[in-house]
Amino acid sequence: MLKALIFAVLVSVGLLPFIFFYSSTLELPKLGTVEKTSLSEVSGKDFSTQGKPSLVTFFYTRCPDVCPFTMQDLKELQKVLKEQGVTEDQYLIVAVTLDPENDTKERIMQYKKAFDISDENWLFLRGSEKDTKKFARSFRMIYEKSEEGYVTHSTTMYMVDSKSQIRARYDMSTGQKRLDIKQVAEHLIQLTK
């Protein structure tokens, strides 16, 4: 009986590296397609999300909690990816304002500066209310602006592959729970190969 138990434990321990490796190489599901957007990058540079995997998040500059926490987590993600040997030219981070009426180009540029974001692969997009809603619908992103100007929005960010397919969803930081940076990094690395 004891020999059988020891054998079972040894086999289980021996399979752990295989299980870990196998689970990290599973193909991510295809959860939908992102429509081409007419939103523009606030710094005026031309951009295309085609050809590179992208992590897409939605924000607004007056957000008191979720958005600032998320920006901090995304900065941490970039550090982790750099440590893993992933360069900025291999992926994009795309942040889309949900409040284009208030979030002018100038205000978003100040927001970037406040978070010390200057990376070339980190794009901040803005467009009309209509174009923003259309783009958000591609992700099934739900949001609503109150009369006071606050935006209530779902707290999800999205991994999009180089062919505009949504491949994963993640919970944004909410204060009590932070973004699973390790999981996001693993998925992004998988899509860069």
> Domain limits of the chain?
28-192
pLDDT exceeds cutoff 90 at 180 = no
107 has pLDDT over 60: yes
Burial 123-148 (b: 16+ CB within 10 A, else e): bbbbbeeebbeebbebbebeeebeee
Mean per-residue pLDDT, 162-175: 84
Distance separating alpha carbons of residues 42 and 53, to the nearest angstrom: 20
12: Cβ–Cβ under 8 A, 6 or more apart, which residues?
A: none
Residue 135 CB contacts under 8 Å (≥ 6 apart), including other chains: 34, 35, 37, 39, 96, 125, 127
**Residue of 103, 111, 93 lying closest to 149 (CA atoms):** 103
Task: Answer whether residue 16 shows pLDDT above 50.
Answer: no
pLDDT tens digits, 31-88: 767 877 788 888 877 766 667 899 999 998 988 888 888 899 899 999 999 999 998 8
| pLDDT for residue 108 | 94
pLDDT of residue 42: 87
Q: Which residue has the higher pLDDT, 110 or 147?
A: 110
**Angle of helix 181-192 relative to helix 66-83, nearest 10 degrees?**
50
Q: Name the percent of the chain lying above pLDDT 90.
A: 31
Round to whole Å and give the CA distance between 141 and 38. Answer: 17
pLDDT above 90 for 6: no
Confidence of residue 26 (pLDDT cuts 50, 70, 90): low
Specify the long-range contacts of residues 82-87, CB closer than 8 Å, at least 24 apart. 84/185, 84/189, 86/185, 86/188, 86/189, 86/192
Task: Please tell me whether residue 86 adopts helix, strand or coil conformation.
Answer: coil
Q: Is the separation of the CB atoms in 143 and 127 below 8 Å?
A: no
Report whether pLDDT(152) > 80.
no
pLDDT for residue 20 is more than 50? no
Residue 18 in this model has a pLDDT that exceeds 90: no
Q: Is the pLDDT of residue 11 over 60?
A: no
Q: Specify the pLDDT at position 104.
A: 94
Between residues 127 and 26, the one the model is more confident about: 127
* pLDDT value, residue 23: 40
Output 5 or 28, whichever has higher pLDDT: 28
Which CATH fold would you assign to the domain 28-192?
Answer: Glutaredoxin (3.40.30)
**Portion of the chain with pLDDT greater than 70, in percent:** 83
